[in-house]
Structure formats: structure tokens, C-alpha cells
Amino acid sequence: MSAVYGGASLLLLIVSVGFCVSIGSAGLSVSDVWGILLHEATGISIGGPWPSSDVAIVIQLRLSRVVLALLVGACLAAAGAGFQGVLRNPLADPYTLGVASGSSVGAAFIILFGFQSLIGLWTIPIVAFATGAATLFAVFALARSKGVMAIETLILAGVIVQSFFGAFVSFMVSMSQGVVNQILYWLMGSLALRSWDHTYMLLPFALIGIPIMIYHSHRLNLFAYGERHAAHLGVHVERTKLIVLVGATLLTAAAVSVSGVIGFVGLVVPHLLRLLVGSDYRRLVPLSAIGGGIFVLWADTLARTALSPREIQLGVVTAIIGAPFFALLLYRHKSGRGGIKT
């Protein structure tokens, strides 16, 4: 069964990449795009030669953007599945918990005031992680009452923190030399004008964070029965919780560092997959990473082509899909129909 799901999702991934890399506003034909890709990958020329501007469009713009979309989506969806599992909260994701906004404060501060190279290439994600983790801590403190965190209260705390930090980021942009457009970028995320450098910045975090989530996925299954019961069955609860929360925050911070805040990916993708493959986190976490990549890739393709040559913010696309979905989850949770539970 798992092999079937894995195979199907990889196939969908390949088809999606093939499709999304082929369309765009530059007016290149599909055969040109694939000719260039084949030539760049293997040196074999079918057709061509192509002008170097076309090669640059395919490799530097489209392919890099496709790869970045996959990575951002994978990070956010894996983080979402992790948050949902360890907090036993079906409404939790990097966006609704406020962690994405918290991370954006750190990242925006570093970028807007020019401290990018303070501690090397990974300055932005590391600072974003610090502010993201502090945010998560603050949200927990706000939501916890007598050692218990109610599902809706946690999300309410997340929303409060999120709107505060959103305003704070907007304020920082206004104070800096940046253009007002940048506010939109930080609040509603985008993959426009990114380069391979951003991919290199994100890649190590994805390669560390996602395997951490997968490694702990079996334990998340036991968390569903309550922390105490998980401990009775042999799970080192406090350690697992800390690692998964840190890992999910790290993935969120790294994604936000390159793309701004893109909402609901970590909510929509794991829940859709639950409907398809069930609640076993051993399937859910890896498939969420793949599915998140596909989801953001399509959302971004829509964002850059729907009103071409103008771009829609990527976060606008994911929110238009995600917010009604979130409402549905809330409704189901409240009416206790139990269609989707963690």
C-alpha cells in the first residue's frame, strides 16, 4: 500500500514539474523548454541552438522557481503535519500557530536593515528560527490554562500573535528604505524574483528537518492517544515533543526566509492526505512533504500565469484555497462529526 501511495505521489510530482516548467509568460514553446532542459542536464542537443536569454529563462527563472516552490511546500506541509501530531490539534499549522509570522519578523528585520551576512549564508533562516521559536513559546503561554491547551484557544492565540507581528513587519518595512510592495511580500508571500541562491539557502534545512519529522512520525501515532498513554507505551514524550516542535519551527523559519508568509499549506495538504491515505503519520509525513511541494508548485504556477504578465501574491492563492478549508475543519471539529481527527 505504502509503495503504491509513494509511487503515485512521485508520478504526480514529476508530471506537475513537467507541466509547470513548460508554461509561463515568455512565450517559449514546450519543445524549446524541454530541449533546453535536456541539453543542460545531459549535453544532448535535440533542436536548438537556443539563444542564451532563453536558456537563462528556463534554467535561472523557471526551473529555479519550480524547485524552490517544491522545497517551500515540502517544508511547510511537513511542519504542519508535525505540529498537528505533536499538539494533537487538527487546526495547527505554521500559519495558524503564528510561527510563520514570528519567523517573518526575524527574517524581515535582517533583510530590511542589511544584516544578511552577519553569521554567513544562513543568517536569515537562523534569526527567523529564533523569532519563530520565541513566538511559539509566547503562543503556548497565552493559550495554556492549568496545563491544558484547548484546541480553539491555541489557534486564537496564534491569530492574535500573527496579527501583531504582521503589523510589526509592516511597520519595519515602512521604517526602512524598502518599497511598500515589500509589505505585501512579507504578509502574503511570493516566489517572484528568487534565484538558485535561495534554493541553496533553504535546501539544508529541508534535508535536515523533513527526515527529523519522518523519523518521529511513528511516535506521532502514539501521541494521538494522549501524552500520558504514549509514555506508557514507551515513548520518551518530552524529548519527542521538543524535537518535533523545534524541527517544525526550523522548517517554517527556513521556508519563510525565502518566500515570506504563505498560509494554510501545512493545514490543507496533511488533511487532504488524511482523507486519501488515513491517519498513519508514517505515511502522512513523507506524503505531506511531497504533496506540499506539488500544492505550492501549482499555486505558484497559478500565481504567475493567471493574470500574466502581472503576478498574484502566492499567499493570496493559498489563502483563497486554504481559508475556506480551515473554516470547514473548524466546523467539523465543533459539530463533532469527527470526519477529520488527529
13 contributes a contact to other proteins by CB under 8 A: no
Shortest distance, position 305 Cβ to other proteins, whole Å: 38
Q: Report d(CA 258, CA 193) in Å as an integer.
A: 11
Shortest distance, position 236 Cβ to other proteins, whole Å: 5
Q: Is the dihedral of CA 252, 257, 258, 263 positive or negative?
A: positive
C-alpha grid cell for residue 259?
A: 518566500
Among the listed residues 23, 59, 231, 321, the single contact to other proteins using CB under 8 A: 231
Shortest distance, position 75 Cβ to other proteins, whole Å: 21
- The half-sphere exposure of 318 on its side-chain side, counting CA atoms within 13 A, is 33
Among the listed residues 175, 233, 306, 307, the single contact to other proteins using CB under 8 A: 233
Among the listed residues 236, 242, 327, 331, the single contact to other proteins using CB under 8 A: 236
Only one of the segments 7-15, 186-194, 222-230, 265-273 lies at the binding site for other proteins (rule: CB under 8 A); that segment is: 222-230
91: nearest Cα among 337, 283, 334: 334
Q: Report d(CA 256, CA 253) in Å as an integer.
A: 5
334 contributes a contact to other proteins by CB under 8 A: no
Segment 179-218, which members bind other proteins (CB under 8 A)? 215, 217-218
Mask 274-313, x = binds other proteins (CB under 8 A)? Answer: -----xx-x-------------------------------
Query: CA end-to-end span of the chain, whole Å?
Result: 21
Segment 250-279, which members bind other proteins (CB under 8 A)? 279
331 contributes a contact to other proteins by CB under 8 A: no
Contact between residue 135 and residue 99 where contact means Cβ atoms under 8 Å apart: yes
Q: Report d(CA 98, CA 100) in Å as an integer.
A: 5
Among the listed residues 113, 174, 232, 331, the single contact to other proteins using CB under 8 A: 232
338 contributes a contact to other proteins by CB under 8 A: yes
Shortest distance, position 207 Cβ to other proteins, whole Å: 18
Shortest distance, position 92 Cβ to other proteins, whole Å: 16
* Angle between helix 265-277 and helix 64-87 axes, rounded to 10 deg: 70
Q: Cα 221 to chain center, whole Å?
A: 22
Shortest distance, position 231 Cβ to other proteins, whole Å: 5
Q: How far is CA 151 from CA 246, 328, 329, 331, in A?
A: 20, 15, 12, 13
234 contributes a contact to other proteins by CB under 8 A: yes
| Residues binding other proteins: number (CB under 8 A) | 23
Q: Report d(CA 170, CA 184) in Å as an integer.
A: 8
Shortest distance, position 140 Cβ to other proteins, whole Å: 21
Nearer to other proteins, 170 or 221 (CB): 221
Q: Report d(CA 342, CA 327) in Å as an integer.
A: 17
Nearer to other proteins, 55 or 152 (CB): 152
- Radius of gyration of the chain from its Cα atoms, rounded to whole angstroms: 20
Contact between residue 71 and residue 206 where contact means Cβ atoms under 8 Å apart: yes
The residues binding other proteins (CB under 8 A) are: 215, 217-218, 221-222, 224-226, 228-229, 231-236, 279-280, 282, 338, 340-342
